[in-house]
Structure 1
């Protein structure tokens, strides 16, 4: 993909395909008046996209490559949720014991020690789960980026092909994601609004790292250049995708939440939510929801990148040329 004209950044000099011989002058007729037909070899038309076309393109990609996208998402979601649950379960007993201690028979120090032990262990397990989830999300987003790159031109791709293309970019993508996450966290700590601004401004670094084969520093500068002048539009599209994902997750998670509450007899005891059965059902709901929402949001992000390049750099011409040459 990186060698194919169309994805390389304007600063790069890709190998240009050999041009066919040109016919003698006079063989070209002027184009007919009126709008020209839209070229759509894949999931989106190769022209600047409307918001609805970006959302539809993401859904169409999931429908066209269900085994690759949903299968990979299901595996990543299952691993992250199950491992996270296994890490946290040993500490639930301490939390439950601390919450159920009788203040009339237990000393204040004993209550504090039990609570601190349970909370510390639970937070440690949660932190490990978040790290694992971050790594899984980075892998999945990069893998999906490769698939969407093929889907834009309607090219078939297998898991082995996508993995071979993405594998050299895994570590750079992980580094760029960790650095951007740190920058966003600093912005959130200083004030929520700078964190949101930075998050949107650097939202396209993953696509730059994977599709353009750019380095970490290049990815930050390229993402900023592409989003610059279209921050509000980019923010609106990403927010819309997040809202759609939240609605889907809520709908899927509702029955599992009700089942979890049913296992505790719909108790209003706050420790009931920490029961193993309730957490297992919550993890199952999370796996199913993530299997659908993670590919969707990742695909939207890549299509926002494609749209920005077509609008800011005229990449639609390169993509049309690549489609005609069987590229990407």
Structure 2
């Protein structure tokens, strides 16, 4: 042991007690053991804390002795030029199944006028055509019943001059027209609501007129997309009709071998058409959103959807099937009681005049058709919102689209909304009324951030 050492003291403590040479600055005592984050006696630190330490010597954890509950362990968070990670209805990360389902409801609540107004437009188109077609069909049915009661054959004579044939074919044509218009309105609604949902993801609210104005001339592109789908469906329908006609001819000619062959062909064609139709639908399900948001023509929008769904076919199919089941159950709960009520109030007395019974059935049927059309329109807009969120999700996964959404949110002055932006009313900055995130990309996406491949990838 050195003669200058004191038992029980370490070298550092002893050095602090040693006498100083003349002219030498007195050494500073070591900081207390209970205050490790105080001012360093050894000069400035080499690097500052990555959490934004305010200045040299100032603790980022508050003053000594401050209660831990009042201290921020990370100091003041830096902005880094980006807004918070949830400015709108969804987090700016790859979306889970819960994000998709809740985000769709949040989009409807936050933009009730735009979403429900679009649903009402679609419902009115379907209601007008369907109710008119159903009414004509009831007239034809009533005429047939009256002619049979009078001993006449309602199907005798020239089909071109027989009013019964005219009413029947007219009602069928109107129902077919209603289906076409409903399909057309559905695709247009997909595009319009995609714009609404993208703006909601950035914390921007959209009115009904604003939604249709922002879609603008892309409605013609959406109509072209619907026309392509209808032509493809018509080709498949014609093939079915051809096979069915061949099967009937073979059965009438009593050619057992030909009938069996046509039956097998019909079965194979049915299975193949269903499989191909489902596969194509999933691959092209994002085409309307791509057309409306990115201002693409029908074929380019289809190609865009094809590329975005690459590697996500089964996931997309599962989500859409799940939503279809949920929506179908809800629609059945609403419409089934109405049909049952109509049956209860129908006249049961056999002596009741046919006209009275037909009138009662007619009005209940028309009411049921109208309510069903409205429910279908509501189901359509919810599904459209979910498809728009799938479009956002796949762009985030493939293209770091969260950076575009964050930039749009920053331009709108949108902060972080922990309540899914269903209550907060963001006051948009000047110029954001025409803002659609991702519509006018400024160039290649920046390097991938936390929402890249390392982010959550499950449902």
Question: Would you call these one fold, judging by a TM-score over 0.5?
Answer: yes
The structure-2 alpha-carbon separation of the partners of 1:106 and 1:160, relative to structure 1 and needing over 3 Å to count, comes to: closer
User: Which residue is 1:231 aligned to?
Assistant: 313
Name the SS for the 1:102 alignment partner.
Answer: helix
Q: Does residue 97 of structure 1 match 2:146?
A: no
Does the C-alpha gap of structure 1 residues 186 and 204 become closer, same or farther in structure 2, counting only changes over 3 Å? farther
1:194 maps to 2:276: yes
1:94-135 CA distances to partner (integer Å, 9 max, x unpaired)?
123325653892348439967644431221111221232233
Cα distance, 1:288 vs structure 2: 3.5
Q: Indicate how the Cα distance of structure 1 residues 153 and 266 shifts in structure 2: closer, same or farther if over 3 A, else same.
A: farther
1:187 shift after superposition: 5.8
Distance 2:84 2:336 in 1: 42
For residue 260 of structure 1, report the CA deviation from its aligned partner. 2.4
Displacement of 1:304: 0.8
Specify the alignment match of 1:13 in structure 2: none
Residues of 2 paired with 1:71 and 1:216: CA distance? 25
- 1:207 Cα deviation from its structure 2 partner: 0.6
Equivalence for 2:156? 110
**Residue matched to 1:290:** 376
In the superposition, relative to structure 1, how do residues 266 and 116 fare at CA in structure 2: closer, same or farther (>3 Å)? same
User: Which has more helix, going by share of residues?
Assistant: 1
Q: 1:209 aligns with which of 281, 291, 300?
A: 291
Cα distance change, pair 63–310 in 1 and its aligned pair in 2 (3 A): same
Q: TM-score, normalised by structure 1?
A: 0.79
Output aligned runs, 1:73-92, within 5 Å.
Answer: 73-92=119-138
**Residue ranges of structure 1 left out of the alignment (5+ in a row):** 1-25
Shifted more, 141-150 versus 256-265: the winner is 256-265
CA separation in 2, counterparts of 1:323 and 1:261?
53
**Separation in 2 of the partners of 1:159 and 1:28?**
49
Secondary structure of the corresponding residue to residue 216 of structure 2: helix
Match of 2:208 among 155, 159, 162: 159
Identify the residue that residue 21 of structure 1 maps to in structure 2: none
Structure 2 residue aligned with 1:251: 333
Say if 1:39 and 1:46, in contact at 8 Å, map to a contact too.
yes
Q: Could you tell me how far apart the structure 2 residues matched to 1:142 and 1:266 are?
A: 48
Count how many residue pairs are aligned between Structure 1 and Structure 2: 298
Q: Does 1:220 align with 2:302?
A: yes
Residue 183 of structure 1: CA displacement?
2.9
Counterparts of 1:56 and 1:185 in 2: how far apart (Å)? 36
| Other structure's SS at 1:244 match | helix
2:343 to 240, 261, 285: 261
Within a 5 Å distance, the mapping from 1:31-110 to structure 2 comes to 39-99=85-145, 101-102=147-148, 105-107=151-153, 109-110=155-156
- Given the superposition, is the C-alpha separation of residues 183 and 30 from structure 1 closer, same or farther in structure 2, using an over 3 Å criterion? farther
Do the aligned residues in 2 keep the contact of 1:145 with 1:210 (CA within 8 Å)?
yes
Secondary structure at the aligned position of 1:325 is classed as helix
The question of whether the paired residues in 1 share the 8 Å contact of 2:118 and 2:208 is answered with no
CA drift of 1:214 comes to: 1.2
Taking the aligned partners of 1:280 and 1:27, their CA distance within structure 2 comes to: 74
Q: 1:186 to 1:223 in 2, by over 3 A?
A: farther
The 10-residue stretch of structure 1 (152-161 or 40-49) with the greater mean CA deviation from structure 2: 152-161
Asked if structure 1 preserves the Cα contact closer than 8 Å seen for 2:117 and 2:208, the reply is no
Gaps of 5+ in 2: 1-46, 53-73, 75-82, 241-268, 413-434, 437-459
**More displaced stretch, 200-209 vs 180-189:** 180-189
In the superposition, relative to structure 1, how do residues 124 and 276 fare at CA in structure 2: closer, same or farther (>3 Å)?
A: same
Q: Distance in 2 between matches of 1:79 and 1:108?
A: 32
- What is the alpha-carbon distance in structure 1 between the residues aligned to residue 340 and residue 274 of structure 2? 33
RMSD of aligned alpha carbons: 3.2
Contact 1:186 1:195 survives alignment (8 Å): no
CA distance in 2, matches of 1:52, 1:183: 34
CA distance in 2, matches of 1:275, 1:39: 55
CA distance in 2, matches of 1:266, 1:298: 43
Q: Which protein shows a greater Rg?
A: 2
Look up the match of 2:199: 150
1:280-312: CA deviation from partner (whole Å, max 9, x where unpaired): 211232244134212101101111111111112
Aligned with 2:231 (options 154, 178, 182): 182
Measured at CA, do residues 273 and 302 of structure 1 come closer, stay the same or move farther in structure 2, by a change above 3 Å? Answer: farther
